[in-house]
Chain A
């Protein structure tokens, strides 16, 4: 009969797993609490928020499972600025708030970042943090996301890292100042309180865990969680062939006249180190597709995680892995006063470029270029039935890149975003609009052994009134490329169809288009590139392409050859 050594107080892999389980529970519980008590549709329905626990040095320890990839690095951006500015003077009961991308580690203004320090006695244990996308943060257009602006001032109210509470006391003057500068202030007050309540809930839960395990044990667990993930990621990098990998792509435009905006990347892998060098990328632009460093870092870490180890926990061990070189004042590390609201389009493209570069190193995991956009369509006007203004905003998925073993998924949100569509029955019940069709775009998936995914098409017309259309597209000019011999997918486009049935192509980022009753707008998101040479596509797959009607005879003959298509049909 053996005796169990009485070392239960030490940090073994069993206890560590139990503590990590408890920390994840806290992150998830605060995620749900925030979602339930917030007012903004973005938070409640689209879950554009995240919650996390950081340690006393500001390192990310645990992030809620449902958090969006684009928020991966935002939290540490806030922590870096918070510690630099207030490091020595953090008190129990303080509540820190910030959103500014240039001054406070944010990624765009609608994301309000919050952190509450958690103490054990007088010892700072760490921070409960969250990020939430508010429906409005002021600025020149409702929603604080519109294009056409050239300075961050126009995009909304800028908050450096400030204390909204000092030692538990609300700084009413500050809150009044903030709320005076946003639309529908009563709702935004609700969003702030929801974020504060979520932090405080997490603070209580951490205190319970401290009582159970002890502060020293928790702090040791924070270190160990990060260290183990870092080791795991380094091992994954070490398994890649050493060398330099390059790729570049070109963004269509910024909506303010700058076109063909290059993103260049050179990745160097040496042992367990990996370096991302974006030198040569375009300077920052006037339009709002600029990205601040944290969003670039989030994109890099998303891509690494997706390629090397999708199940790895989100913590500092992932964030610290890549060395990132990017020129200040460039598109990917934009300097004040660059506008950044539509950063998501650029983040999608950074990811395409990373995957394109690393494809030779990880051919089994790499995918061809995806639709590379956050295709946005906004219809607004005066509802003739209710006499009220309405704004209907939707972002469309598109093609996902061809993969080593399977075709790219058709019509889906890719990479940095994963929000759902609005049902046709919901659109038509809420707004004076009619959806004529919702479908995949024929011939839009790039050819290849595994073809690219198809884009989406929505055809919408106003009912009983004239409405206004605004859009934001990417990959309308520069198509999503294939890899390992695969061909490119179709570009996206916006069309304005007149009463006579004439289709007029619109710009990539059209604004203020008047759509009269009887006219309609066609929104087509891009497809995606194929994987492997078209000649290697199996006859069975080709037969299905044809039988399903997803591809026309002419397209199949052009890309796969008449003889092969005929054989497949037999």
Chain B
């Protein structure tokens, strides 16, 4: 027996998804989080789960963990004290950024202050130019002065940020070595190692954020390793990264910034695993929780990756699953704006005090309160009845809104749902229509506690014909963690014309990256058959300021992917250019800016969990009155998810309840339970 355990730490609950890859059985466990020290809930929860399900310590082979420690440290500004060493003449560059302001019309809102104040930014005499060639050699005296200044500043970490280091990292390494010699305990981040890419501000900013997180994440990982070593000594630890794969604790300590957006990425990977099993290659995921909704577009079982994101107001440049987040969740608060229009969110009641119906002191009407008032949620409440919901409190919270509009409570409740649905529809249009994809060709995959509640209405608004609710919609992130591969990205940032004389140069770079990848495969001791390499190039027309990521090919078994002819490369670029910009030119010169090789190694393959097939009609657990579009409530059957067997058919209206979520079928929706117990719903007219 070898258990793989995925642990997803949320603001309120820590979820465990355990899978035995010998017997293919699954165990689910949920316990309250410990926000002060998230690792405590992991260590304790793992022990609790083992005891509850009789899993021996030695049987746990791997613990896959998505951490929000880095994200929270950024949001709450609780990182380490950082110094910066940079090229002479460019001390202010990190503060100037892109010289823009974040809000077009606000005179008061600024980008956040630089994480490293000017007095801890030091310059060294050196200069590399675009050649690359060394215009000014690294001056040892200025390095010695800067190293001493860093020491005197009391910094715990130092980011080294030199111009053109993505082409030639020797000067940065020289400074890094001098820092290490002078102070072995100092954390050092070199911009040429964190993400060796073109454009200094984004590269520097990424390196600074990495340095800022190093002390915090190193402490956290050390604690986690120690605790887990005690409880499950043979378990390997995988830390989840924003690109949608796992990395070793050692890598996480060196590059903590890679975990900063990993939370939503795990959900997308879990959704892809579900989509694969349900044989729906093109899906739009809708992960709606308490405060926000995360949306991703999956094409042919692959999520798009993007490289430029902001975290807590700072740009980072790293591969990240392309996820769009909006402030629409169960806790989103309904309010009137200064135009007198009803709005929902982005302000949320969160988990504390939570929606009014939680009875924990919340007084403002939320999306969850509206669902309760309409009968779509049960008063028996969430988490299998462990948390009752108070309908009277929900109605009382909506009453002031109803009075202002002179409407019945239920009509206001329906309005709140319609508006939050419209907000999500707008966000889905952003990731689909605005990027050249027609949502009607996609299947919606709702998850999170509140996704399946709103899926039918969202799908109908977008003209999407089908949605699929996975078996455990509230635990999909934890599930995604163990469906993930070990992953590492290798990049060469350069500038080569996509023209025949340069093909051998391009191939040489790819071969070199492949050698780096092989070393990594060996170091991580991955099985030879489980290794895959993906090659993509960032390309653009000469003169364009932004490049497009062009997938070129993949190599199985760890073999480097073949690099096609220059014409082949150009054709691939034209396809991507067409999709993004609607046109391409056959004749204009094209250049390559980055060569990217992604190495991944499968850790486990979740097998299908097949449910028993029954043709018998499921009996509803109860009936209750639920408001849909009509003027009167409808007597609606309520089913327990566990009672729905494979092959069963239902026609809406119906409500399906389970431990971690509630699914709403509107009148006319037609549901079929597939052999994997997914709810496949054809949206009614």
A interface residues, Cβ below 8 angstroms from B = 1-6, 12-14, 16-18, 20-22, 24-25, 28-29, 32-33, 36-37, 41, 44-45, 68-69, 190, 197, 225, 228-229, 231-232, 235, 302, 305-307, 309-313, 365, 367, 396-397, 400, 403, 405-406, 409-414, 418-426, 428-429, 434, 436-440, 456, 459, 544, 547-550
Contacts and interface: CB of A to CB of B under 8 A. Distances in A.
B96 interface: yes
A438 B92 contact: yes
Interface stretch (B140-148, B254-262, B403-411, B445-453): B403-411
Interface stretch (B506-514, B520-528, B624-632, B663-671): B624-632
B610 interface: no
A396 B98 CA distance: 10
**Residue among B166, B341, B433 with most chain A CB within 10 A:** B341
B358 interface: no
A365 B101 contact: no
A418 B631 contact: no
B418 A14 contact: yes
B338 A425 contact: no
Nearest to B495: A429
A21 B423 contact: yes
Contact of B434 (A32, A235, A414, A438): A32
A424 B338 CA distance: 43
Interface in B89-107: 89-93, 95-96, 98-101, 103-107
A25 B426 contact: yes
Interface stretch (B8-16, B194-202, B639-647): B194-202
Contact of A305 (B105, B342, B545, B633): B105
Contacts of B201: 423
Contacts of A412: 99-101, 110
Interface string B412-442: 1011001100110110011001100000000
B200 A411 contact: no
B89 A436 contact: yes
Contacts of A21: 419, 422-423, 425-426
B92 A439 contact: yes
Contacts of A418: 100-101, 104
Smallest CB-CB A-B distances: 9 pairs: A437-B89, A14-B415, A397-B99, A420-B98, A548-B118, A310-B105, A228-B339, A310-B106, A2-B408
Majority-rule SS of A interface residues: mixed
Contacts of A544: 117
Contact of B96 (A2, A190, A302, A456): A456
B117 A548 contact: yes
9 contacts: A3-B632, A13-B336, A13-B342, A229-B339, A310-B103, A367-B107, A418-B101, A419-B100, A422-B545
Contact of A36 (B93, B411, B581): B581
Contacts of A16: 341
B267 to A, nearest CB: 25
Given A69-B104, A307-B107, A310-B103, A426 B545 contact: yes
B633 A1 contact: yes
B99 A411 contact: yes
Contacts of A548: 117-119
B90 A420 contact: no
B199 A426 contact: yes
B625 A1 contact: yes
Given A45-B546, A423-B201, A6 B91 contact: no
Nearest to A212: B461
Contacts of A425: 130, 163-164, 166, 198-200
Contacts of B433: 29
Interface string B305-346: 000000000000000000000000000000011111111000
A223 to B, nearest CB: 13
A424 to B, nearest CB: 6
B103 A4 contact: no
Contacts of A12: 405, 407, 415
A305 B103 CA distance: 12
A32 B110 CA distance: 25
Nearest to B118: A548
Contact of B107 (A37, A365, A428): A365
Given A425-B198, A456-B96, 19 more contacts: A3-B632, A5-B408, A13-B336, A17-B422, A24-B426, A41-B543, A228-B340, A235-B338, A310-B103, A365-B107, A403-B107, A410-B95, A410-B96, A413-B101, A418-B100, A424-B90, A428-B129, A434-B135, A439-B89
Contact of A17 (B107, B199, B342): B342
Contacts of A403: 107-108
Majority-rule SS of B interface residues: loop
Interface residues of B, number: 73
Contact of B408 (A3, A22, A413): A3
A25 B199 CA distance: 32
B582 interface: yes
Interface in B536-566: 543-546
Contacts of B91: 439
Nearest to B167: A425
A421 B254 CA distance: 31
B339 A456 contact: no
B419 A18 contact: yes
B422 A549 contact: no
A421 B99 contact: yes
B111 to A, nearest CB: 8
B607 interface: no
Nearest to A2: B408
A2 B338 contact: no
Contact of B338 (A5, A37, A309, A434): A309
Nearest to B630: A4
B628 to A, nearest CB: 11
B2 to A, nearest CB: 48
Contact of A420 (B92, B99, B105, B627): B99
B103 A14 contact: no
B96 A37 contact: no
Contact of A438 (B93, B164, B632): B93
Contacts of A25: 425-426, 429
B106 A306 contact: yes
A190 B583 contact: yes
Nearest to A411: B96
Contacts of B580: 36
B92 A69 contact: no
A38 B434 CA distance: 15
Contacts of A307: 107
Contacts of B105: 69, 302, 305-306, 310-311
A365 B129 CA distance: 45
A4 B631 contact: yes
B200 A13 contact: no
A396 B96 CA distance: 11
Nearest to A549: B118
A45 B99 CA distance: 15
Contacts of A228: 339-341
Contacts of A14: 342, 405, 412, 415, 418-419
B92 A17 contact: no
B106 A421 contact: no
Contacts of B339: 225, 228-229, 231-232, 312-313
A367 B110 CA distance: 14
Contacts of A419: 100
A540 to B, nearest CB: 13
Given A4-B631, A5-B407, A424 B200 contact: yes
B96 A438 contact: yes
Interface string B145-173: 00000000000000000011010000000
A411 B92 contact: yes
Given A4-B414, A4-B631, A365-B107, A456 B89 contact: no
A37 B583 contact: yes
A550 to B, nearest CB: 7
Nearest to A410: B95
B632 A4 contact: yes
A311 B104 CA distance: 10
